[in-house]
Amino acid sequence: MIDEAVGFLGEDKPLHAIQILRRIIARDPDYTDAYLKLAEIYLGLHNYDAAENLLQDALERMPDDYRLAYALGSFYFNVGEMERAFPLLRKLTSWRNPSVHLALATIFLESDNYDEALSEVRLVLKSDAKYPDANGLLGRVYLKRKDFPNSIKYLKRELGINESSVEFRLDLATAYYMLGDLREALEEFTLLIDTDPDFYPGWFMCGKILLELGRTGESEFYLTRALSINPRSAEVLQALANLYSAIGEDEKARTIFDELAEANAIVEDDSETLERISKINRKRKRH
């Protein structure tokens, strides 16, 4: 009967497929494949509560079923509920599934546990040196540890496998910037806005780097474009104030600085700015 449900999916009749899968589960409550297929349909329909409840009920009935644990752990991971994903995925380490170790590495990274993150991602690369996202995640761990040369090494390796990854190109651009290689950083940030013209952090960082390189006219163009996309960005406003100060337009600079100070929005540390940009991008990707 599960083939019949799949057939209805091929005909774009998900509600018919749901009815069949529910009948299968009522008849055979231990049929894992039916639960997984039904959860997949719910997710495709953006009915996340139904998918979560279904997988929870199935796992309560079959607590040793690793596929159900993986499905529910992956669900929590993908919606950003890392604290709920972690115990489920942690139980599956003996399964030796690369996606489990990669998810655990991401959770460890987001909790600033860099040693554990390195261990998990290295297990993935040991089994497959080109596993999707593994080199990039290793590069991100090194970026967090401020080991910029190793970060660049692995991020470039990842982009050699998947050159379209926006998040890892952002990490690479950040690593170059933090290393002080402004021209390479500028090239990578330029590629980001070529890929997505509405990606304001790319415009902002290009403007910021151009200002540091003394190319004030070009800097103003990029910063103004960034501000048109995100008019409330404190980072962009502060960069524009620095620009106006550099070209002698002190009144404009002072006005912006006063507004930022009043809002307690002045950023003192480049790494703080870049971390905020990185989080914005990862949150955008997740949703």
Specify the CATH number for the domain of residue 50.
1.25.40.10
Q: pLDDT tens digit string along 89-98?
A: 988 888 788 9
Global pTM value: 0.78
Q: Is residue 154 part of a domain?
A: no
Q: Distance between CA atoms of 47 and 3, rounded to whole angstroms?
A: 22
Give the domain-ending residue among 37, 70, 88: 88
Residue 265's pLDDT is 67
How many distinct structural domains can be found in the chain? 2
The two three-digit tokens of residue 55, written as one number: 């997988």
From the list 78, 72, 76, 127, the residue with the least C-alpha distance to 98 is 127
Q: List CB contacts of 276: < 8 A, sequence separation 6 or more.
A: 235
Q: Is residue 257 part of a domain?
A: yes
Q: Is residue 178 part of a domain?
A: no
Query: Do the beta carbons of residue 110 and residue 82 sit within 8 Å?
Result: yes
Q: Is residue 77 part of a domain?
A: yes
Residue 58's pLDDT is 96
| φ, ψ of residue 139 in degrees (nearest 5) | -60, -35
Q: Is residue 115 part of a domain?
A: no
Q: Distance between CA atoms of 25 and 46, rounded to whole angstroms?
A: 21
| φ, ψ of residue 258 in degrees (nearest 5) | -65, -40
Residue predicted with more confidence, 108 or 4: 108
Q: Distance between CA atoms of 160 and 252, rounded to whole angstroms?
A: 44
Provide the residue range defining the domain that includes 33.
1-88
Residue 287's pLDDT is 47
Q: Distance between CA atoms of 223 and 228, rounded to whole angstroms?
A: 9
Q: Is residue 171 part of a domain?
A: no
Q: Is residue 179 part of a domain?
A: no
Give the domain-ending residue among 58, 88, 118: 88
* pLDDT of 103 over the 60 cut: yes
* DSSP code for 145: T
b/e burial code for range 25-64 (CB count within 10 A of at least 16 → b) = beeeeebeebbbbbbebbbeeeeeebbbebbeebbeebee
- Average pLDDT of the residues of the chain: 90
Mean pLDDT is highest, among 104-108, 183-187, 229-233, for: 183-187
Q: Is residue 103 part of a domain?
A: no
* pLDDT of 266 over the 80 cut: no
Give the domain-ending residue among 88, 120, 155: 88
**CA-atom Rg of the chain in angstroms:** 24
| φ, ψ of residue 11 in degrees (nearest 5) | -95, 10
